[in-house]
Structure 1
Amino acid sequence: MFSICHHGATTGVTGSCHELTLSGKGSPSGILIDCGLFQGQDEGRGASADDLSIHFPIGHIRALVVTHVHIDHVGRIPYLLAAGFEGPIICSEPSAIMLPEILEDALKIGFTRDRDLIERVLNLVRFRLVPVPYGEWHEVFDDGECSLSVRLQRAGHILGSAYVECDARCGEVEERIVFSGDLGAPHAPLLPAPEPPERAERLVIESTYGDKDHEDRETRRYRLKAVLEHALEDGGTVLVPAFSIGRTQELLYEIESLIHEFGGEPWSDLEIIVDSPLAAEFTRIYRDLKPFWDEEALERVGEGRHPLSFEQLTVINSHEDHLNAVDYLARSHRPCVVLAGSGMCAGGRIVNYLKAMLGDPRNDVLFVGYQAAGTPGRDILRHGPRGGWVELDGERFNIRARIHQVGGYSAHAGQSDLIRFVEGVPATPKQIRIVHGDRSAKEALKRCFQSRFNADIIIPSD
């Protein structure tokens, strides 16, 4: 009667796409939760446009619900539209503002440079968008025998992120089914922590960090401070492969906090560069959407501080300025932090910085997000501490820079956070489906759930 299947995020942490279908006496009707791209060694890596086409039936799909606008959750939307999907795209109010921006960038990089074609796709997306306030039920369909409504709740992952509560009914049978999307870690900067749902007969939950916990905020903050102090000591550059949405803004928030707290020299000499037009645009959007910030961030604004727009922050937009910055920082001894895309080093402006600076022990590379298998970021993280090498654009580069990972800025809940999320549901879900994680992370989380909850714990393969 109510069935769940998965069209991604079962072999790794990317390509999220889940289907909920209601089947009564008539034709079935369903919705999709997310429709994201595959990255790294997950299925679909390096695929052609044909391989990225939608290979599952969509004639019965009445709506797409977007949990948040990271590319591994929304990147296949243009292909979904091309396959003939004609329903609404339901999302939170902040996500409705950001989704066209992220899709424009994805289309330019992986689809076409034809400006007219890109605009037609984006206009279609804008026309289909249905922004829904947090905490309000939205009816997707009611065919008499079967009906489905959804409600979005704050997920604390990035601005606009949500988990999705689905009230499904066929005849006299009703069920509350919850899709977690990506859950944020408690006490992360800028955003309120997620609150567990009041009810869930079935729960589909992510497991990116299902096998480990993050450092607490104070620990990771002072680890960040230590990395920046190393740059201040020897005039090196700290390279941060940046995800445009979420981690970039959280890092800027924490760096502003460190500069405010410690002030004076040498901190006054530290320059912060955001070398990513997309990250800069989303930082502006974050600033414009202050009502969605948490109380701590709003208090800082009330004190006259500007957590995402402070004196030592420089934004680089043009490609020429980017190349000049790479050349200057590679030769200079001025301490600097560079946040540049992409987050897994699989392209974007960070690659030019890495080519120029990985071989210099004065420099540091700081990873603050998940690095998928098969990406240069994973290779740098694995081989860099042993003085290995990484292949970038077909060429080997020796790694002499220091390599760091501060997991607390991953924007994902850790194992204990995921357990608390489920424990917070008043009546334990009858079924928990674990997705969006490497095999080891999913298995570890399954063991934890089995030891705590009387539920059917499933790791789906499709």
Structure 2
Amino acid sequence: MPYRSIEHHGAKDGVTGSCHQLHIDERQSLLIDCGLFQGAEVSGTKHENGDPQAIPFSTDGIRALIATHVHIDHVGRIPWLLAAGFKGPIICSEPSAKLLPLVLEDAFKLGISRNKQVVERYISKLSARTIALPYKTWFTLIDDERHRVRIKLQRAGHILGSAYVECDLLNRANGQRRRVVFSGDLGASYAPLLPSPRAPYRADVLVLESTYGDRLHEDRRTRVQRLRAAIERAQRNGGTLLIPAFSIGRTQEILYELEALQSDFGMTEVPVVLDSPLAARFTQAYRELKLYWDAEAHCRLAQGHKPLSFDSLLTVESHSQHEQMVGHLATSGRPAIVIAGSGMCNAGRIVNYLKAMLDDPKHAVLFVGYQAEGTPGREIQQYGPKGGYVWLDGERINIRADIQTIGGYSAHADQRGLVNFVKGMRYRPQEIRLVHGNLGAKESLKAALAQICDSGTQIFTHF
């Protein structure tokens, strides 16, 4: 065999903590992603010192870490990986190389240390170890008397810089070759700003995400109409539309759609408040990396539109400004749209807005992304329509605000997109390993994939 085994250290029974180890032989391996556990999955790994994020496997012989994208559930454990003794390079796409220090500086401050000198040393070490790899370019990681191992990054359409990883493995002793593909997170079709992913030519083994393996997203026209309806409701009620969103990816997509609604449909401009310093930094990075936007976004730029810097967009920086904005919007009766993190409502400035507004029916919460089990976002999403309550910062908050979900804004491919990714391969996998999804999503996707794969294809949901 050109490789020995694949070991999953996270996202094998849930949707966070993505971390997969490709063992080339008894001495060498590659690590694909090293993400943070979140929500109920924070206990997904055990360690003798009680730290759920600590690395429970040996780093000896790991030749490289390949980061598919910079979401925290895919790269957030890198500080712990370095502390565990990992000495190899961190390989990612060129846009991800620019975004990674922003993400990991924030994660380092939240989880390890806020000491400025310590943070600077850490970021300096991280930058020195990072290799920015252009898309569609083979890069040789191992080339010895036993093996040749090359990788190639292809655009995944999930967030800016996201990639799926093709691993080309050659066993020199017997001439066997295998192509192992790690999907990372695949983007939804027709998402704003980024082109949809294209399937690889072949894969012998595919490690495939399954976050939305059991459902179909709304089409873009429908979700834009529902977003418009949510905004118009806020205008009528004199309330605030709260949109919990991850700082990178979802925030920029929603800003893009809001600008289009205001400029193309003649909607009365409602102030759009971006209350997240980190999201503001990522939005600026998105502007600087417009080379990687899709054709539609470039067309809008050519027509004079400003998708990520329109006139009604207000950015809140300082904590005092944030507190003033929360107080003002909670009581003023002035319609507004607030985008703030975290996306699952388990931390960040969105929590203060929720504490101030959830018990008032004139306000609304619009979920546009996946809410993991055990997070406040999932509880609000589940119990809010029933007039329930949620605990935030140890305080019980009744939910009287309008709670809505638009699945079409997910940055993840739905079941159709995941199936099409496999269907688009000229030579389809002999083995598919479904990760990054709950059991129901995996089983549903497995059934859908079985209809298009050869009878001999093995599809695994448990590891």
TM-score range, shorter chain: over 0.9
AA of the residue aligned to 2:435 = V
Alignment of 1:292-441 (within 5 A): 292-441=292-441
Query: 170, 176, 179: which one pairs with 1:176?
Result: 179
In the alignment, does 2:35 pair up with 1:32? no
Does the 8 A contact of 2:45 with 2:53 survive in 1? no
- Distance in 1 (CA, whole Å) between partners of 2:274 and 2:110 is 20
1:47-83 residue CA offsets vs partner (Å, 9 max, x unmatched): 8773322111211100000000000000000111111
Does the 8 A contact of 1:176 with 1:201 survive in 2? yes
Displacement of 1:46: 11
The TM-score with structure 2 as length reference comes to 0.97
Does the 8 A contact of 1:209 with 1:412 survive in 2? yes
Distance of aligned partners of 1:400 and 1:262 in 2 relative to their CA distance in 1, 3 Å threshold = same
Which stretch shows the higher mean deviation, 201-210 or 118-127? 118-127
- Distance in 1 (CA, whole Å) between partners of 2:59 and 2:448 is 35
Displacement of 1:277: 0.4
AA of the residue aligned to 1:18 = H
In the alignment, does 2:93 pair up with 1:86? no
Does the 8 A contact of 2:368 with 2:410 survive in 1? yes
Does the 8 A contact of 1:238 with 1:365 survive in 2? yes
Displacement of 1:459: 1.3
Residue of structure 1 in register with 2:78 after alignment: 77
Distance of aligned partners of 1:45 and 1:395 in 2 relative to their CA distance in 1, 3 Å threshold = farther
Displacement of 1:451: 2.6
AA of the residue aligned to 2:396 = R
**Gaps (5+ residues) in structure 1?**
none
AA of the residue aligned to 1:178 = V
Aligned residues: 455
- Distance in 2 (CA, whole Å) between partners of 1:49 and 1:82 is 16
AA of the residue aligned to 1:98 = L
1:147-187 residue CA offsets vs partner (Å, 9 max, x unmatched): 21100000000000000000011221110000000000110
- What's the % identity of the aligned pairs? 56
Q: Over the residues paired in the alignment, what is the CA RMSD in angstroms?
A: 1.2
- Distance in 1 (CA, whole Å) between partners of 2:158 and 2:210 is 13
In the alignment, does 2:254 pair up with 1:251? yes
- Distance in 2 (CA, whole Å) between partners of 1:57 and 1:336 is 50
AA of the residue aligned to 1:90 = I
Does the 8 A contact of 1:157 with 1:411 survive in 2? yes
- Distance in 1 (CA, whole Å) between partners of 2:365 and 2:122 is 37
Query: 456, 459, 462: which one pairs with 1:457?
Result: 459
AA of the residue aligned to 2:128 = F
- Distance in 2 (CA, whole Å) between partners of 1:452 and 1:44 is 36
The TM-score with structure 1 as length reference comes to 0.97
- Distance in 2 (CA, whole Å) between partners of 1:389 and 1:52 is 29
Does the 8 A contact of 2:10 with 2:44 survive in 1? no
Does the 8 A contact of 1:40 with 1:375 survive in 2? yes
Does the 8 A contact of 2:45 with 2:56 survive in 1? no
In the alignment, does 2:134 pair up with 1:133? yes
1:287-329 residue CA offsets vs partner (Å, 9 max, x unmatched): 0001100000001100111000000000001000000000000
AA of the residue aligned to 1:75 = G
The alignment partner of 1:243 has SS state of coil
Does the 8 A contact of 2:44 with 2:52 survive in 1? no
Displacement of 1:109: 1.2
Residue of structure 2 in register with 1:117 after alignment: 118
Displacement of 1:374: 0.3
Does the 8 A contact of 1:34 with 1:74 survive in 2? yes
Does the 8 A contact of 2:166 with 2:181 survive in 1? yes
AA of the residue aligned to 1:438 = N
Does the 8 A contact of 1:39 with 1:45 survive in 2? no
Does the 8 A contact of 1:11 with 1:43 survive in 2? no
1:401-451 residue CA offsets vs partner (Å, 9 max, x unmatched): 000101111100000100000000111200000000011101111111123
Does the 8 A contact of 1:183 with 1:412 survive in 2? yes
1:84-103 residue CA offsets vs partner (Å, 9 max, x unmatched): 11111000000000001000
Residue of structure 2 in register with 1:61 after alignment: 62
Residue of structure 2 in register with 1:238 after alignment: 241
**Gaps (5+ residues) in structure 2?**
none
Residue of structure 2 in register with 1:281 after alignment: 281
Which stretch shows the higher mean deviation, 312-321 or 255-264? 255-264
Does the 8 A contact of 1:22 with 1:170 survive in 2? no
1:116-169 residue CA offsets vs partner (Å, 9 max, x unmatched): 111111111100000000000011111121121100000000000000000011
Displacement of 1:190: 0.2
- Distance in 1 (CA, whole Å) between partners of 2:241 and 2:420 is 35
The alignment partner of 1:151 has SS state of strand
AA of the residue aligned to 1:132 = L
The alignment partner of 1:232 has SS state of helix
Residue of structure 1 in register with 2:100 after alignment: 99
The alignment partner of 1:307 has SS state of coil
Displacement of 1:285: 0.3
AA of the residue aligned to 1:113 = R
AA of the residue aligned to 1:376 = P
Residue of structure 2 in register with 1:215 after alignment: 218
